């Protein structure tokens, strides 16, 4: 899993992400996030990397969670 910054324009990406959520309800934003995660996961297509990312994201939310190797 690569955690080094790789997005050429992170501020532009973040602005586009926020714009995509603008005007949506909380439920609509959650649906958008779910669709986005699935599209990005399909682009990655590496099951081991995807599982490592799931574990890392869960551990970032809950510091008692152990990360997968």
List the chain domain ranges.
45-69
Q: What is the mean pLDDT of residues 24-30?
A: 98
C-alpha 3/C-alpha 62 separation (Å) is: 18
Using a cut of 0.85, tell me whether the model's pTM lies above it.
no
Confidence of residue 61 (pLDDT cuts 50, 70, 90): confident
Beta-carbon contacts of residue 44 (< 8 Å; ≥ 6 apart): 50
C-alpha 7/C-alpha 16 separation (Å) is: 13
């Amino acid at each position: 899993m690569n955690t080094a910054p790789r997005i050429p324009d992170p501020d532009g990406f973040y602005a586009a992400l926020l714009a995509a959520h603008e005007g949506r309800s909380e439920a609509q934003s959650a649906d958008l996030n779910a669709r986005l995660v699935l599209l990005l996961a399909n682009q990655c297509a590496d099951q081991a990397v995807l599982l490592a990312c799931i574990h890392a994201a869960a551990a970032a939310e809950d510091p008692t969670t152990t990360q997968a190797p």
